[in-house]
Structure 1
Amino acid sequence: MRHYVYGYVLLAALGFGCAKTPATSTTGTAGTATTSPVTDAAVLSEAAPKYASSVTAADLSRHLTILASDEYEGRNTGEKGQKMAAEYIAREFREDGLAGPVKNNTANPYYQPFDLERSMWGDGYMLIGKEKYLMMQDFFVLGSSPFQTEQAVDVVFAGYGIDDPAYSDYANLDATGKVLVVLAGEPKGADGNFLVSGTAKASDWGNDYRMKRNAASEHGAKAVMIVTGTNPGEFNSLTQRYRSYANRPSIGLKSSAEKPEAATIFISPVAGATLLSTTTEKLLNYNTQVARAGKPVTADFKAAKDVRIMTERKSDPLPTENVLGFIEGTDKKDEVVVVTAHYDHVGVDSTLQGDQIFNGANDDGSGTVAVIELAEAFAQAKKDGFGPRRSILFMTVTAEEKGLLGSEYYSENPVFPLGNTVANVNIDMIGRMDTDHEKTNDSNYIYSIGADKLSSELHQINEAMNEKYVNLTLDYTYNDENDPNRFYYRSDHYNFAKHGIPIVFYFNGVHADYHQPSDEVDKIIFESAEKVARLAFHVTWELANRENRIVVDSNKK
Structure 2
Amino acid sequence: MLAFLLLLQAQAPVQRAAQTISSEDIRRRIGIIADDSMRGRDTPSPELDKVAQYIAREYRRLGLKPGGENGSFLQRYSIDRVQVVAESSVAFIHGGADVTFSYGTDFVFVDNSFDSGDYAGDLVLLSGPLGGTLAGDSASLAGKMLIANRPRNRGEFQRVLAWKPQGVVFVGTAPDSVWRRNVERSTRPQLRDPSRSVGPPVVLAVRAVSLQPVLGRLGQDLSVAQNATTLEAKPLTGAQLHLHARIQAVERNSAPNVVSILEGSDPTLKNEYVVFSAHMDHVGVAGPRGSGGCRAKGADSICNGADDDGSGTVAVVEIAEALAGMNPRPKRSIIFLNVSGEEKGLWGSEYFSDHPAVPISSIVADLNIDMIGRNWKDTIVAIGKEHSDLGATLNRVGAAHPELNMRPIDDIWPDENFYFRSDHYNFARKGVPILFFFSGTHADYHQVSDSPDKIDAEKESRVARLIFYLGVDIANAAERPKWNPDSYKRIVSGN
Q: Which TM bucket (shorter chain)?
A: 0.7 to 0.9
Query: Is 2:72 the partner of 1:109?
Result: yes
Query: Is 2:332 the partner of 1:363?
Result: no
Query: Is 2:410 the partner of 1:476?
Result: yes
1:47 Cα deviation after fit: 3.0
1:289-300 to structure 2, matched below 5 A, reads: 291=230, 296=232, 298-299=234-235
Partner of 1:461: 393
Out of 347, 355, 358, the residue aligned to residue 405 of structure 1 is: 347
Task: Indicate how the Cα distance of structure 1 residues 313 and 268 shifts in structure 2: closer, same or farther if over 3 A, else same.
Answer: farther
1:122-201 to structure 2, matched below 5 A, reads: 122-123=85-86, 124-128=89-93, 129-135=98-104, 138-146=107-115, 148=116, 151=118, 153-157=120-124, 159=126, 167=134, 170=137, 173=140, 175-176=142-143, 178-184=144-150
1:410 Cα deviation after fit: 0.9
Q: Which runs of 5+ in 1 are unaligned?
A: 1-17, 21-40, 187-203, 434-441
Partner of 1:225: 169
Partner of 1:388: 330
Partner of 2:473: 542
Give the Cα–Cα distance (whole angstroms) in 2 for the partners of residues 236 and 335 of structure 1: 52
Secondary structure in 2 aligned to 1:78? coil
Question: What letter corresponds to residue 210 of structure 1 in structure 2?
Answer: Q
Partner of 1:374: 319
On the 8 A contact 1:162/1:168 being kept in 2, the answer is no
Secondary structure in 1 aligned to 2:261? strand
1:54 Cα deviation after fit: 0.6
Partner of 1:450: 384
Out of 130, 150, 162, the residue aligned to residue 214 of structure 1 is: 162
Partner of 1:333: 270
| TM-score normalised by structure 1 residue count | 0.75
On the 8 A contact 1:74/1:357 being kept in 2, the answer is yes
1:302 Cα deviation after fit: 4.1
* Superposed CA RMSD: 3.3
1:337 Cα deviation after fit: 0.5
Question: What letter corresponds to residue 459 of structure 1 in structure 2?
Answer: G
On the 8 A contact 1:19/1:46 being kept in 2, the answer is no
Task: Indicate how the Cα distance of structure 1 residues 152 and 376 shifts in structure 2: closer, same or farther if over 3 A, else same.
Answer: closer
Give the Cα–Cα distance (whole angstroms) in 2 for the partners of residues 499 and 362 of structure 1: 28
1:77 Cα deviation after fit: 1.0
On the 8 A contact 2:316/2:336 being kept in 1, the answer is yes
On the 8 A contact 1:277/1:302 being kept in 2, the answer is no
1:249 Cα deviation after fit: 3.9
Residue identity over aligned pairs, in percent, reads 30
Give the Cα–Cα distance (whole angstroms) in 2 for the partners of residues 61 and 249 of structure 1: 37
Give the Cα–Cα distance (whole angstroms) in 2 for the partners of residues 173 and 142 of structure 1: 24
Partner of 1:190: none
Secondary structure in 1 aligned to 2:345? coil
Partner of 1:317: 252
Task: Indicate how the Cα distance of structure 1 residues 254 and 372 shifts in structure 2: closer, same or farther if over 3 A, else same.
Answer: closer
**Greater Rg by CA:** 1
Question: What letter corresponds to residue 451 of structure 1 in structure 2?
Answer: K
On the 8 A contact 2:260/2:337 being kept in 1, the answer is yes
Question: What letter corresponds to residue 443 of structure 1 in structure 2?
Answer: K
Question: What letter corresponds to residue 493 of structure 1 in structure 2?
Answer: H
Task: Indicate how the Cα distance of structure 1 residues 131 and 277 shifts in structure 2: closer, same or farther if over 3 A, else same.
Answer: farther
Partner of 1:192: none
Question: What letter corresponds to residue 274 of structure 2 in structure 1?
Answer: V
On the 8 A contact 1:144/1:255 being kept in 2, the answer is no
Give the Cα–Cα distance (whole angstroms) in 1 for the partners of residues 29 and 77 of structure 2: 26
Give the Cα–Cα distance (whole angstroms) in 1 for the partners of residues 241 and 408 of structure 2: 57
1:169 Cα deviation after fit: 5.1
1:71 Cα deviation after fit: 1.4
1:488 Cα deviation after fit: 1.0
Question: What letter corresponds to residue 520 of structure 1 in structure 2?
Answer: S
On the 8 A contact 1:158/1:169 being kept in 2, the answer is no
1:447 Cα deviation after fit: 1.7
Give the Cα–Cα distance (whole angstroms) in 1 for the partners of residues 271 and 29 of structure 2: 31
Partner of 2:373: 431
Query: Is 2:82 the partner of 1:119?
Result: yes
1:416 Cα deviation after fit: 1.1
On the 8 A contact 1:156/1:180 being kept in 2, the answer is yes
Give the Cα–Cα distance (whole angstroms) in 1 for the partners of residues 57 and 124 of structure 2: 53
Partner of 1:509: 440
Query: Is 2:460 the partner of 1:523?
Result: no
Question: What letter corresponds to residue 123 of structure 2 in structure 1?
Answer: V
1:228 Cα deviation after fit: 5.0
